[in-house]
Structure 1
Amino acid sequence: MADITMYDLPGCPFCAKVRTKLDDLELEYDVIEVPRSHGERTEVEKVSGQTGVPVITDESQGVEGMPESDDIVEYLEETYA
């Protein structure tokens, strides 16, 4: 199991942006696909307090439930680039 976990929705362009950055940085990460219905996204809501995606956690850095693709990409660049 990787330190980084990404909550993802297939076809989401914001999720794709984060996946691309993770792949560009050659980071190992786990993916949890969330349901299409926001009402069924209980797992990501527990982690981040909201139902939107993408969201990442990074156990090695103490990051729990970081939302917003631009913020995630900036965090990944600053932490791992």
Structure 2
Amino acid sequence: MADITVYNLPGCPFCAKVTSKLEELGLEYDRIDVPSAHGKRTEVEAVSSQTGVPVLSDEAHDVEGMPESDDIVAYLEETYGNAA
């Protein structure tokens, strides 16, 4: 099991942006695909208090339920990118 978990909706361009960055950085991660209906996204809601995706958790850095693709990509670059 990887330290990083991303909650993902297949076909979501914002989720693809995050998974592309994870792959670009060569990071291991677990992907949890969520249902398309917001009302059925109970697992992601429990982690982030909202039902939108993508959402990222990083146990190694005590990050739980980070929303917003731009924020996640910036976090990944800062934490794991060349500047890290």
Question: Could you state the TM-score of these two structures normalised by the residue count of structure 1?
Answer: 1.00
Distance in 1 between residues matched to 2:75 and 2:20, nearest whole Å? 14
What letter is aligned with 1:56? L
Give percent identity, aligned residues only: 74
1:67: which partner in 2? 67
What letter is aligned with 2:6? M
The count of corresponding residues between Structure 1 and Structure 2 is 81
Residue 71 of structure 1 and its aligned partner are, at CA, apart by 0.0
Q: Within 5 A, what are the aligned runs for 1:37-76?
A: 37-76=37-76
Deviations 1:12-58 (A, max 9, x none): 00000000000000000000000000000000000000000000000
Q: Point out 4+ residue stretches in structure 1 off by more than 2 angstroms.
A: none
Residue 65 of structure 1 and its aligned partner are, at CA, apart by 0.1
Give unpaired runs (5+ residues) of structure 2.
Answer: none
Aligned-residue Cα RMSD (Å) equals 0.2
Distance in 1 between residues matched to 2:36 and 2:77, nearest whole Å? 29
Residue 59 of structure 1 and its aligned partner are, at CA, apart by 0.2
2:18: which partner in 1? 18
1:7: which partner in 2? 7
Give unpaired runs (5+ residues) of structure 1.
Answer: none
